[in-house]
Amino acid sequence: MEMLVLSHVEKHFGEKQVLKDVTFSVPEHSVFGFAGQNGAGKTTAMKMVLGLLPAGGGEIFVNGMQVRYGNTPTNRFVGYLPDVPEFYSYMTPAEYLCFCGEIAGMPAKEIKNRCEELLCLVGLEKEHHRIKGFSRGMKQRLGVAQALFSRPKLIICDEPTSALDPAGRKELLDVLVSSKEQATVLFSTHILSDVERICDEIAVLHEGKIVLQGALEEVRKERKAAATELETERAEDAGKLLSAFPFLKAQGRGRLLLEETERLPEILHFLADADMPMLRIERREATLEDLYMEVVGK
Ligand SMILES: Nc1ncnc2c1ncn2[C@@H]1O[C@H](COP(=O)(O)OP(=O)(O)O)[C@@H](O)[C@H]1O
Ligand SMILES: [Mg+2]
């Protein structure tokens, strides 16, 4: 079942069209990566899912129910982590989460259990200090716990990793993966390698249009074929290989790239006949970055 569906969504700010016929859907219990450069329209689309901005056209459904601007019963299915989350910095993480539970009107016993469970999930169970002294990564992890608190079916996290260092990003991505047992996870980012690391499905937005979408593996298969990298032990052998197989691409220092992967067996025969020592023969999958560059034509 689809937890979120955007169908032909349009958005203008004055003269400027920010979203153009945006259509994609997010399957239940997936981690869905919503990728695109700064200004692509990710935050705008997410705010429309939350009913915080009126749509200029198209329809949005959360858990099968249509989203209406300003009148948002669909938000009871949704937890949200904005791009710059604000906390009461004088509270400890446990106090903050309990406060969220009280606002949501949960019974005290349930609040306490949920608090403990979520602090463990995001790795903050041993932090008894005030949020004031937290790193950005700790704040983002607390933000994910807050978004999950009232057991939403979908959490929407806007660029949760963008301001983090590599270790902080890794920790946050791990938290998003663990969250998918509890909820469907939609997160936006401009960092394609983050999407590649954890997402089941993706949609890539470029200048307001979806340019790539689907299951990550499918997207890879449909697009550019994987290439094979070859590296000869003796630099001069690379030249011999190039004259025998002119379709190889020289990459410098004994390294060659084979894009016509189906021709690898001929090359392997040649290497065996010539007794040519090799350092490396390695299949290289096209990265999401390669695919992105291919579709945006750069
Ligand atoms: N309230 C607004 N009024 C006018 N233009 C806006 C408004 N909000 C966003 N935009 C413009 O819409 C485009 C997409 O913005 P945004 O959705 O924030 O992109 P992203 O989150 O992908 O970086 C940008 O060009 C931005 O300047
Ligand atoms: Mg944004």
Confidence of residue 27 (pLDDT cuts 50, 70, 90): very high
Q: What is the pLDDT of residue 225?
A: 61
Q: Are 59 and 74 in contact (CB under 8 A)?
A: no
Structure tokens at 132: 């004031």
Say if residue 235 is in the same domain as residue 127. no
Q: Give the CA distances from residue 216 to residues 130, 141, 157, in Å, rounded to whole numbers and listed in that order.
A: 39, 25, 19
> 190 alpha carbon to ligand 2 midpoint, in Å?
9
Q: Is the pLDDT of residue 3 over 90?
A: yes
- What pLDDT score does 38 carry? 92
**Looking at 170, 193, 222, which one is the last position of a domain?**
222
CA angle 142, 148, 152 (to 5 degrees): 160
Ligand nearest to the CA of 44: 1
Say if residues 202 and 216 touch (Cβ distance below 8 Å).
yes
- Of 202, 222, 242, which closes a domain? 222
What integer pLDDT is reported at residue 40 of this predicted model?
94
What residues contact 82, with CB distance under 8 A and at least 6 apart? 158
What mean pLDDT is predicted for residues 146-173? 93
Query: Which residues lie at CB < 5 A from ion ligand 2?
Result: 42-43
Residue nearest to atom 2 of ligand 1 (CA): 13
Mean pLDDT of 25-35: 95
Higher pLDDT, 286 or 96: 96
- pLDDT tens digits for range 234-249: 989 999 999 999 999 9
Using DSSP bridges, classify how beta strands 201-206 and 31-35 pair: parallel, antiparallel or unpaired: parallel
- pLDDT, mean over the chain: 92
Predicted pLDDT at 262: 87
Residue nearest to atom 4 of ligand 1 (CA): 13
Beta pairing, strands 201-206 & 227-232: unpaired
pTM of the complete model: 0.84
Ligand 2 center to 158 CA (angstroms): 7
Query: pLDDT-derived band of residue 188, with 50, 70 and 90 as boundaries?
Result: very high
Query: Do 183 and 234 sit in the same domain of this protein?
Result: no
pLDDT at residue 34 tops 90: yes
Query: Considering only CA atoms, which residue is closest to atom 26 of ligand 1?
Result: 39
Shared domain for 162 and 260, answered yes or no, is no
Q: What is the pLDDT of residue 57?
A: 94
Residues 154, 264 within the same domain: no
Task: Output the ligand 1 site: residues, CB below 6 A.
Answer: 13, 18, 36, 38-44
Q: How many domains does the chain have?
A: 2
Q: Are residues 237 and 146 in the same domain?
A: no
Q: How far is the CA of 48 from the centre of ligand 2 (A)?
A: 13
Report the DSSP beta bridge partners of residue 231: 255, 280
For residue 71, what are the domain limits?
2-222
